[in-house]
Amino acid sequence: MEGVARPFWSEQAVRVADACVANVHDLVGVYLHGSAALGGFTRSSDLDILVVADGSVTGVAPVLLACATPSALELSIVSRAAAATPLAPYPFRLHIAGPARMSEDTGEGDPDLAAHYAVCRQSAIALFGPPPQDIFGAVSPHALVGYFVGELRWGLQYADQRYAVLNACRAVAFASGGRLLSKIDGADWWVSRFGPNPLVSQAKSAQLAGQPLGPADSAAAEFVARAIGLLEASARQIARYGARSV
């Protein structure tokens, strides 16, 4: 629409998509996910992109790494078959993280792809290729809840407090309502469901400002432990009664 400002990540996203079209063989699609698709993208956010392709990825990494500015680029290339039927260990072909890191799958896969596939199926923006719902298969809710539990435990040990707290909020939101939210929307959901919480407010403000809080303190650890308890209860309920994939 004329007069509407484009998101500040849009130019970089287009550059990544153009680089994929020019350099990735048997390209199926290029999909923007993460906070750029869900909302809540800030200037400290990574630009999350999932590429689906069946051809050779030899020599592609340097071209894509050149697109890793101004936002850090988090990009994976997966096969069409892997995207259509998301199953552990979630194999990938190439992964780029940050401004200069890349890796190829050695057989261990990438568990983060469970969440990436689910977000893509729900909310991805197709930069190139068919609609995401035609490419990405459904992910088991039980698998997603299990992934979130592991991610929260990892976050307590290795991530910033804002990451741990906000991921806890949106993980419980998913377990409750089946929808994947941004970190910011997850914080708002938590407050609407459980009432105001200073930890959540602090983490949300830090996220919006792009300011780290440092390692999780004891209060944050207790908060995340509560969230993990809710997720584990949800997992038991899913195992008992079942739930549709998302």
At residue 7, the pLDDT reads: 87
What's the whole-model pTM score? 0.93
Q: Does the pLDDT at position 194 exceed 90?
A: yes
What would the mean pLDDT of 190-206 be, rounded to a whole number? 98
- Which secondary structure element, helix H or strand E, spans residue 77, and what is its range? strand 73-78
Among residues of the chain, what percentage have pLDDT more than 70?
96
**Is the domain defined by 10-134 classed in CATH 3.30.460.10?**
yes
Work out the angle between the directed axes of helices 183-194 and 198-209 (0-180°, nearest 10): 160
Give me 132's structure tokens.
Answer: 């995401």
Report yes or no: 47 and 9 within 8 Å, Cβ to Cβ.
yes
Q: Distance between alpha carbon 193 and the CA centroid of its chain, in Å?
A: 23
At residue 4, the pLDDT reads: 47
Give the SS3 label for residue 114.
helix
Domain extent listing, the chain: 10-134, 141-241
Which is nearest to 71 in space by CA: 93, 107, 96?
Answer: 96
**12-71 pLDDT, tens digit each:** 999 999 999 999 999 999 999 999 999 989 888 999 999 999 998 988 999 999 999 999
